[in-house]
Amino acid sequence: MFKVFIKTYGCQMNERDSEQVSQMFLEKPGYAVTADESDADVILINTCSVRDQAEQKALGKMGILGRLRQRKPHVVYGFLGCMAQSRGEELIQDVPHLDLVAGTQKYHKVVGYVDQILQRRLQRQMDEVRYSIVDVAEEEDSQNTIRDHKLKENQSTAFVSIMQGCNMKCTFCIVPYTRGGERARPIADIVAEVRTLADRGVREVTLLGQIVNLYGRHEFPRVDDKSPFVQLLEAIHEIDGIKRIRFTSPHPIGYKADLIEAFRYLPKLASHVHFPLQSGSDRILRAMHRPYKAEKFIEICDQMKEARPDIAISTDIIVGFPGETDEDYLETKSVVERVDFHNAFVFRYSKRRNTPAAEMPDDIQVPERVKEERNQDLLTLVNRLASEKNYALVGQTVEILCEGASKTNSERLSGRTMQNKIVIIEGDQQRFAGEIFDVLVTESTGYTLYGDPVLHD
């Protein structure tokens, strides 16, 4: 039995892609998936290219794991995903022990490639000539290959990939070049997948797309003035067993009235939206090729709050984009205060090769020191806003979906509210995992809530 270890860096979409690969190995006779890297016969790292730090982590991890071949000469090493797509053959040249590079449209072929390499190695056909596989070519209908799920016992939540790719081409972003153009799966296929998940005990699904609210805009028509994405939300809402629906990440350019209205009449739609701002400066938004103004972003947030008063909005923000002045940064800070986000992920701008921003002149680059200062200053504001909201919940009763053991303390259980706030409780996993129930919040650390189940007859 060959054991496969998969390490994932990056977004929820990468997690979903890794899950697909894991499930395919489980269905392949002679293979098993392991969480112990030292025991593996196959080492696969699913990579992210959004920031340089993510790439360096993946390269560093692969370097460390390469030592395993000294003890197990047959081990197969592979890079998957976005960095694999963007660097391709270059990775084979740079990493001496690397055997496989599979791009973002080739996850469904990974098992076959690994088996091919492993069998050749075991048959001693590779003693003198290095044998490797690089596949980063585009493939038609690749969006339809991420559909199988590897569920754990009592798993109550699942990611569902509804599309691949992005057409927006923000100047700072490498994703359109690693994920390709927008391609959507048929609504019927997605609904069938979610129905199967519900039959297996899943109660909450998160719909994934690079720009999720632009789902199907090229493939499917509007019906009753509703976008394909809202049509999909309505169809999933009808599935028995599904209690909550989330989606990530939308773009302001596709956030129309029909989606805002959906928060009024689809109660299963979670009261949380992760809504990337990126910058509060109109000048910087133009330089980023983000086709909206800060005031429009604020207007959409206000409309969401009016449609669903208890909604929690989180965001992504980049500080230190080329040309960002102190005034630009203060405009971003002002928008953060105005929207009053529940959470925000703040990133220092990271140059990504082959993107338009990477070619911007040196004289407008923001010094790393300034990036760090703005990063820390904005984080201080974000943490204060988030903490205030969470401390206000102490003494209140909230409804959670219990997801099972806490990631940081297996003796406790963890759940999430409709607003995506984490709540830690004491209790029996067999009794509570997968259940939706009320919790009395007794404590807050700022980001994490603690509470006691409120039990009803």
Candidate from 119-123, 242-246, 444-448 with smallest mean pLDDT: 119-123
pLDDT band, very low/low/confident/very high, at 410 (cuts 50, 70, 90): confident
Fold observed for domain 397-454: OB fold (Dihydrolipoamide Acetyltransferase, E2P) (2.40.50)
What pLDDT is recorded for position 125? 54
Contact 397, 438 (CB under 8 A): yes
Candidate from 1-5, 116-120, 238-242 with smallest mean pLDDT: 116-120
Q: Which CATH class is domain 2-135?
A: alpha beta
pLDDT band, very low/low/confident/very high, at 129 (cuts 50, 70, 90): low
Residue 154 has pLDDT above 90, yes or no: no
Average pLDDT, integer, range 342-371: 94
pLDDT tens by residue, 192-224: 999 999 999 999 999 999 999 999 999 999 999
pLDDT band, very low/low/confident/very high, at 50 (cuts 50, 70, 90): confident
Q: Which long-range contacts (CB under 8 A, 24 or more apart) does 153-156 make?
A: 154/201, 154/404, 154/429, 154/430, 154/433, 154/434, 155/201, 155/202, 155/404, 155/434, 156/201, 156/202, 156/203, 156/204, 156/401, 156/402, 156/403, 156/404, 156/433, 156/434
Residue 36 has pLDDT above 90, yes or no: yes
Average pLDDT, integer, range 256-271: 98
pLDDT band, very low/low/confident/very high, at 457 (cuts 50, 70, 90): low
Using alpha carbons only, how large is the chain's radius of gyration in Å?
23
Residue 88 structure tokens: 């391709």
Pick the CATH number of 142-391 from 2.60.120.10, 3.80.30.20, 3.30.40.10, 3.20.20.70: 3.80.30.20
- Taking all residues of the chain, what is their mean pLDDT, rounded to a whole number? 95
How many CB atoms are closer than 10 A to CB 440? 14
pLDDT band, very low/low/confident/very high, at 429 (cuts 50, 70, 90): confident
pLDDT band, very low/low/confident/very high, at 283 (cuts 50, 70, 90): very high
Question: Residue ranges of the domains in the chain?
Answer: 2-135, 142-391, 397-454
Q: CB-based contacts of 289: which residues, under 8 Å, 6+ apart?
A: 168, 169, 170, 171, 356
Average pLDDT, integer, range 24-43: 96
Residue 306 has pLDDT above 80, yes or no: yes
